[in-house]
């Protein structure tokens, strides 16, 4: 796992340098930033998730703090990789959850914790 994380980080930083080089010429490419078994994580997915979770575009986050940008990007990429692995495992095990089951579980949690819909 440590070896694959190091490899992923190398791809991330290599990809970042290519991305910055392309930006200098006004071009943006959607490219693969990580390969997860038979799936990939794209730059678009990574940037979209950064914006969803931070409320800032990757560019704005980078302008604010280079260190925070690199750390946030690394954590979110790791999260996306773990999601892809979980999805593949769920599909492999043929696990299916019906919406009704989710609603019932939510209701149980609300009752157990004396919560209301608000």
Using one digit for the tens of pLDDT, what is the confidence trace for 92-118?
999 998 999 989 998 999 899 887 776
State whether the Cα torsion 40-75-73-51 is positive or negative: positive
- According to DSSP, the residues that pair with 34 across neighbouring strands are 41
Q: What distance in Å separates the CA atoms of residue 114 and residue 70, rounded to the nearest whole number? A: 41
Is the pTM higher than 0.85? The answer reads no
Using one digit for the tens of pLDDT, what is the confidence trace for 6-61?
556 555 555 565 555 555 555 567 899 999 998 999 999 999 999 999 999 999 99
Q: With beta carbons less than 8 A apart as the criterion, state whether 26 and 65 touch.
A: no
């Amino acid at each position: 796992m440590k070896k694959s994380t190091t490899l992923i980080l190398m791809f991330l930083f290599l990809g970042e340098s290519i991305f910055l080089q392309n930006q200098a010429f006004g071009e943006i490419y959607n490219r693969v930033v990580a390969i997860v078994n038979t799936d990939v994580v794209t730059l678009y997915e990574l940037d979209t998730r950064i914006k969803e979770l931070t409320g800032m575009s990757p560019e704005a986050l980078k302008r604010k703090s280079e260190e925070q940008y690199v750390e946030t990007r690394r954590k979110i990429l790791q999260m996306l990789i773990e999601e892809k692995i979980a999805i593949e495992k769920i599909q492999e095990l043929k696990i299916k959850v019906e919406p009704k089951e989710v609603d019932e579980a939510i209701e149980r949690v609300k009752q157990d914790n004396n919560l209301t819909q608000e």
